[in-house]
């Protein structure tokens, strides 16, 4: 059975920016964990950010070098942490390619893992439609990305993929 990439914070690993636990209590995730199918991964930690760390949000920006739109990630202290997020996204892609992973369950809202929404860059808790850097990179490379509220859909796809591989 194929592995599933899962945001480490969803399975009780203290990797969130604030170091707090915010696990997903899904029976689907617990079953996959018992079956040894989960490969837990935090792109932000893998990219070199510590725990705890200041919260970060994606903001729109202009790349001064070639004057095109780009996405920057700034933490609440005003520091540009984009390079850490880009590195974590690249490492996520490497992991899924090495393990031939087809499904990722990522924490929505995160500047790395958000698949339906992210925060608007004002640090006021305002959600906007959008994707984090890791979610976007994985999707652009054919990985099926789901968030913690879409586990039933991920489970259906997983069974479908399992049936095809038999």
Could you report the per-residue pLDDT of 86-103, keeping only the tens digit for each?
999 999 999 999 999 999
Q: What is the pLDDT of residues 54-72, one digit of tens each?
A: 999 998 654 555 555 578 9
Q: What is the pTM for the complete model shown?
A: 0.92
Q: Are 4 and 105 in contact (CB under 8 A)?
A: yes
Q: Are 45 and 9 in contact (CB under 8 A)?
A: no
Please indicate whether residue 66 or residue 20 has the higher confidence score (pLDDT): 20
25: pLDDT confidence band, cut at 50, 70 and 90? Answer: confident
Alpha carbons 48 and 98: distance in angstroms, whole number? 20
Place of tokens 């949000």: 57
Query: Between β-strands 56-62 and 69-75, what pairing exists: parallel, antiparallel or unpaired?
Result: antiparallel
Find the helix or strand (DSSP H, E) in which 58 lies: strand 56-62
CA-wise closest residue to 50 among 88, 17, 86: 17
Reduced DSSP (H G I as helix, E B as strand, rest coil) percent helix, strand, coil of the chain, to 5: 35, 25, 45
* Count of structural domains, the chain: 1
Give backbone dihedrals phi and psi of 157, rounded to 5 degrees, phi first: -65, -40
Q: Give me 25's structure tokens.
A: 């209590």
Can you give the residue range of the structural domain that contains 90?
4-164
CA-wise closest residue to 55 among 136, 7, 114, 125: 125
The burial of 124, by beta-carbon neighbours within 10 Å (0-12 exposed, 13-18 middle, 19 or more buried), is given as exposed
Please state the length of the chain: 166
Q: Percent of the chain scored above 70 by pLDDT?
A: 93
Alpha carbons 82 and 155: distance in angstroms, whole number? 32
């Amino acid at each position: 059975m194929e592995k599933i990439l899962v945001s480490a914070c969803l399975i009780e690993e203290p990797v969130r920016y604030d170091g707090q636990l915010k696990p997903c209590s899904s029976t689907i995730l617990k079953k996959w964990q018992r079956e040894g199918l989960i490969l837990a991964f935090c792109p932000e930690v893998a990219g070199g950010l510590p725990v705890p760390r200041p919260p970060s949000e994606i903001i729109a920006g202009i790349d001064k070098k070639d004057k095109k739109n780009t996405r920057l990630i700034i933490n609440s202290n005003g520091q540009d942490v984009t390079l850490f997020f880009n590195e974590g996204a690249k490492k996520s892609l490497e992991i899924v390619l090495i393990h031939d992973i087809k499904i990722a369950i990522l924490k929505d809202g995160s500047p790395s893992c958000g698949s339906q929404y992210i925060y608007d860059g004002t640090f006021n808790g305002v959600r906007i439609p959008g994707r984090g850097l890791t979610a976007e990179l994985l999707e652009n490379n054919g990985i099926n990305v789901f968030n913690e509220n879409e586990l039933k859909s991920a489970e259906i796809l997983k069974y479908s993929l399992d049936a095809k591989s038999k």
